[in-house]
Amino acid sequence: MKSQKAPYPLNVWAALGILYVVWGSTYLAIRFAVESIPPFLMAGTRFVTAGLLLYAWARLRGAPRPTLAHWKSAGVIGLFLLVLSNGGVCWAEQKVASGVASLLVATVPLWMAILQWSWKGEAKPGGKAWLGIGLGLAGLAVLVFSRGGVGAGAVDPWNALLLAGASLCWSVGSLYACSAVLPDSAFLATSMEMLAGGAMQWGVGLLLGEASRFHPAAVTTQSLQSLVYLTLVGSLLGFTSFIWVLQKSNPTLASTYAFVNPVIAVFLGCFWGGETLSGPVFLAASLIVAAVTLIILSSGPGKGRAASRS
């Protein structure tokens, strides 16, 4: 008799629900945080703090001391995932609504499908994946070319290009991480990526003159609370939930955050952040979520490591 696979236990779905809400909420938290804290200094503080806590925890649990080769790989991954990708999102959210930013960032699976074929030499995307890529590009076009202000879903071409580039950089960094020399402990590897990326974000912030524009007395309670939330909940709780779901289920189930997060982000942006769910935003959200769903379902189980998603 053919055995049936047992359903995942309730605690797996609970952890997945935490991941959906936490990583979906980080976009609005970033928007609140950069209202009175310069974006790269804010992000660097977030990831260096979270990285130190996670590094200490991983080492106390017995993870071996990382080698120089491990640190070099973590530096490259931190550059692409945190400086170029997350940093780009933080910079753009000074002017772009959090829900719109989440939809533009949600196109990561589109770039992944294209890069896996064109760069990594893997199988050419099938019909379902190409349909997803087409729907995703259509959703991007709706966001970029729709009329209205930022709150109505329009985004100027420069910020759209910045967010598209952030998604592309996340995809490049993620693919590099699949074959990079990293510690066996996913927690230790991610803490190193946070530390390296966060330190570089600080450096970029200083080069951009953010220190001269940062006035501690002007930091609002909402920005400070958002920074604490991003550090402790967005980075630490979100990532540990992701790793736990990976260990207890499979990469395909864990990757479903990619098409749930933008829905959560748009909802929170509208009902908590005062953003507008206009017709173009709703249409773009539908197209992009459908695109990501098609691409993930057509690709099967994924692999590789992930840092804090946003």
List pLDDT tens digits, range 102-127.
988 888 888 888 888 887 777 777 88
Please indicate whether residue 124 or residue 155 has the higher confidence score (pLDDT). Answer: 124
Q: Lowest mean pLDDT of 10-14, 56-60, 190-194, 221-225, name the range.
A: 10-14
**Residues 6 or more apart in contact with residue 218 via CB below 8 angstroms:** 36
pLDDT score, position 310? 62
The verdict on residue 306 lying in a domain is no
pLDDT score, position 299? 65
Encode 138-174: b = buried (16+ Cβ within 10 Å), e = exposed.
ebbebbbebeeeebbbbbeeebbebbbebbbbbbbbb
Q: How many helices (H) and strands (E) does the chain have?
A: 15, 0
Q: Is 153 left (phi over 0), alpha (psi -120 to 50) or beta?
A: left
The verdict on residue 4 lying in a domain is no
pLDDT score, position 111? 85
Average model confidence (pLDDT) across the chain = 86
The verdict on residue 2 lying in a domain is no
pLDDT score, position 161? 85
DSSP state of 216: G
Mean pLDDT of 236-243: 89
Burial class (CB in 10 A: 0-12, 13-18, 19+), 67: exposed
Helix 10-33 vs helix 98-105: crossing angle, to nearest 10? 120
Q: Lowest mean pLDDT of 164-173, 225-234, 238-247, name the range.
A: 238-247
Mean pLDDT of 44-61: 97
Rg (CA), the chain: 19
Please choose, from the candidates 265, 273, 221, the residue with its C-alpha nearest in 3D space to the C-alpha of residue 27. Answer: 265
What distance in Å separates the CA atoms of residue 9 and residue 24, rounded to the nearest whole number?
23
DSSP state of 250: -
Q: In Å, how far are 28, 35, 105, 135, 263 from 284, measured between CA atoms?
A: 18, 26, 12, 9, 11
pLDDT score, position 157? 76
pLDDT score, position 83? 97
- Its sign, for the CA torsion 79, 80, 83, 84, is positive
What distance in Å separates the CA atoms of residue 36 and residue 280, rounded to the nearest whole number?
29
What distance in Å separates the CA atoms of residue 162 and residue 65, rounded to the nearest whole number?
36
The verdict on residue 241 lying in a domain is yes
Share of the chain above pLDDT 90, in %: 49
* 291 has pLDDT over 80: yes
Mean pLDDT of 230-254: 85
The verdict on residue 6 lying in a domain is no
* 156 has pLDDT over 80: no
- Domain count of the chain? 1
One-letter amino acid of 309: R
* 1 has pLDDT over 50: no
Residues 197 and 47 sit within 8 Å (Cβ to Cβ): yes
The model's pTM is: 0.87
* 154 has pLDDT over 80: no
Cα 92 to the chain's mean position, in Å? Answer: 14
The verdict on residue 29 lying in a domain is yes
Q: What is the token pair recorded at 268?
A: 């929170």
Q: In this predicted model, what pLDDT tens digit does every residue of 208-218 receive, in sequence order?
A: 999 999 999 99
The verdict on residue 67 lying in a domain is yes
C-beta neighbour count of 123 within 10 angstroms: 9
pLDDT score, position 84? 97
Please indicate whether residue 270 or residue 251 has the higher confidence score (pLDDT). Answer: 270
Q: Lowest mean pLDDT of 46-55, 230-239, 253-262, name the range.
A: 253-262
DSSP state of 8: P
* 26 has pLDDT over 80: yes
What distance in Å separates the CA atoms of residue 75 and residue 68, rounded to the nearest whole number?
10
pLDDT score, position 159? 86
* 152 has pLDDT over 80: no
Question: pLDDT-derived band of residue 147, with 50, 70 and 90 as boundaries?
Answer: low
* 309 has pLDDT over 60: no
Q: What is the extent of the structural domain holding 69? A: 11-299
Q: What is the token pair recorded at 93?
A: 């959210």
The verdict on residue 309 lying in a domain is no
Share of the chain above pLDDT 70, in %: 90
pLDDT score, position 155? 67
